[in-house]
Amino acid sequence: MKKDPTEIFNKIPELNYSEELSEVAPQEFDRLIKNRRSVRVYSNERVPPEVVEQVLEWGLLAPNSSNLQPWEFYWVKDPKKKSEVVEACFNQPAAKTAQELIVCVARIDHWRERRKEMLETFEKSENIPASARAYYEKLVPLVYTQGPLSLFGYGKRLATSVIGIFRPVPREPTSRSDMRVWAVKSTALACQNIMMGFSAFGFDTCPMEGFDSRRVKRVLGLGRNAEIVMVISVGKRDQKGVYGPRVRMAKEKFIKIV
């Protein structure tokens, strides 16, 4: 019997699997969140490479759309490339004084390869719900394929506009721009993991958006299907590294009860 690939959204699969939630002290998480600041000037204290490796692995544990993991993280260790990335970041102190630089990249072109890997994983596993297989076999190609000049995507937009009159329907992505948004959202979640991870080790970060994306891509040998989400600088804060107290507007402006 053919499986509806949309069943994965609205039916609970029968699984022989469970995970217990580990206890985490809320006060420790509160300290971690409040300890993270965007540090603009770093000291000369080095960051152990094993710390960077562990934190990058934590980044890969971030939630992401359809588990297609549309991200890459470039740890810039080569001195020449690092110098070029610093220059592309306008030589701002957060880049120039950093011990380490991580370039966080969203990919809109790797979903087919990741989909294939997911299906290969299913072949090696037991008790995979048929709806999960159907999702990756049928729905993922339909959702993420845009076609030349996004023509297939525009056709999907027209179809979903009509279908959406009668029932809820997934409306995006239907263009290259939508794919960029899709990939950047997942990558940004991983970036937060990375910044929190360094904070847990007692190191600081600054997520930089001030850079020449074309120059950064050139340094890393990246093409048009790669989107530079941010450059994260890493180090131990200098006494002058934090420029002022954290400023947040009244929470009522942003938190809405509906």
Average per-residue pLDDT for the chain? 95
Residue pair 51/199 in contact (Cβ under 8 Å)? The answer is: no
Q: Are 206 and 231 in contact (CB under 8 A)?
A: no
Three-class SS state of 106: strand
Would you give the distance in Å from CA 248 to the centre of its chain?
A: 24
**Among 192, 215, 196, which Cα is nearest to 204's?**
196
Angle, helices 176-200 vs 49-59, to 10°: value is 140
pLDDT greater than 70 at residue 42 = yes
220 residue type, one letter? L
Backbone φ, ψ for residue 75 (5° rounding): -85, 105
Q: What is the mean pLDDT of residues 3-30?
A: 85
pLDDT of res. 13: 82
Whether the bond between 173 and the residue before it is cis, its omega within 30 degrees of 0, is yes
All domains of the chain in start order, with CATH: 36-110+170-237 (3.40.109.10)
Average pLDDT for residues 207-221, to the nearest whole number?
98
Query: Could you tell me which residues are beta bridge partners of residue 106?
Result: 71, 227
Distance CA 38, CA 195 (A): 10
Residue 11: pLDDT band with limits 50, 70, 90: confident
What pLDDT digit, counting tens, does each position of 170-186 carry?
Answer: 899 999 999 999 999 99
Residue 34, C-beta contacts closer than 8 angstroms, at least 6 positions apart: none
| pLDDT class of 2 with cuts at 50, 70, 90 | low
Query: What pLDDT band is residue 111 in, cutting at 50, 70 and 90?
Result: very high
pLDDT band at 30 (very low <50, low <70, confident <90, very high): very high
pLDDT band at 116 (very low <50, low <70, confident <90, very high): very high
Report helix, strand or coil for 169.
coil
Minimum mean pLDDT among 46-60, 76-90, 120-134, 182-196: which range? 120-134
pLDDT for the residue numbered 75: 98
- The predicted model gives 192-214 an average pLDDT of 98
Q: When comparing pLDDT for 14 and 49, which is higher?
A: 49
d(CA 71, CA 176): 16
Tell me the torsion sign for CA atoms 59, 64, 67, 73.
negative
Distance between CA atoms of residues 96 and 40, nearest Å: 9
pLDDT level of residue 115 (50, 70, 90 thresholds): very high
Kindly list the distances between the CA atom of residue 240 and the CA atoms of 38, 39, 93, in Å, as whole numbers in the listed order: 12, 9, 11
Selection from 121, 111, 133 nearest residue 5 by Cα:
133
Average pLDDT over residues 184-209: 98
Q: How far is CA 218 from CA 79, 158, 176, in A?
A: 16, 37, 21
Q: What are the backbone angles phi and psi of residue 23, rounded to the nearest 5°?
A: -80, 135
Is pTM beyond 0.95? Reply is no
**Residue 103: pLDDT above 80?**
yes
Q: Return the minimum-mean-pLDDT range out of 75-79, 86-90, 128-132.
A: 128-132
Selection from 89, 86, 101, 68 nearest residue 189 by Cα: 68
